[in-house]
Homo-oligomer: A and B are copies of this chain.
């Protein structure tokens, strides 16, 4: 048994996990803390490396499991803007992603009413990609 100091934020974690049929575990707590600590859209492997600093015995399979649980219970989202490993983002507010073609970094940008005119200072937008998720006509029909 590992001692866990719970903060107010952890209450939210517990709620969301149990609400999704998941248990609260020290590993999930750690993985979520890693996501919140540095919001640079890390890959599963990067999360693994960071989580190991405070929890050396955690395994990569567990990190994948924890990230999956967080995504399923609405505490994080997967970000896939390029070929390569999936990245994770704990910002659940409506926002869009700025992908830098130079350093391949991903930055959160708040969704402005007039996109393009409201870019943060210094960012140079060159291409917009919009993905809409939902149900196509055939699949929407299957749900009734």
Contact = CB atoms under 8 A, between A and B. Distances in A.
Interface of A: 78, 80-83, 86, 94, 96-103, 105, 107, 109, 111, 115, 119, 121-143
5 contacts: A97-B131, A100-B135, A124-B134, A124-B135, A127-B133
B130 A100 contact: no
Nearest to A109: B132
B133 A130 contact: no
In terms of DSSP, what is the predominant structure of the interface of chain A?
mixed
The 7 residue pairs across chains A and B that have the minimum distance between CB atoms: A102-B139, A122-B137, A96-B130, A126-B134, A100-B136, A129-B131, A127-B133
Contacts of A122: 136-137, 140-141
Contacts of A107: 136
A103 B137 CA distance: 11
B82 A80 contact: yes
B131 A96 contact: yes
Nearest to A141: B122
A131 B99 contact: yes
B111 A142 contact: no
Most chain B beta-carbon contacts within 10 A, residue among A111, A131, A137, A140:
A131
A100 B105 CA distance: 27
A92 to B, nearest CB: 11
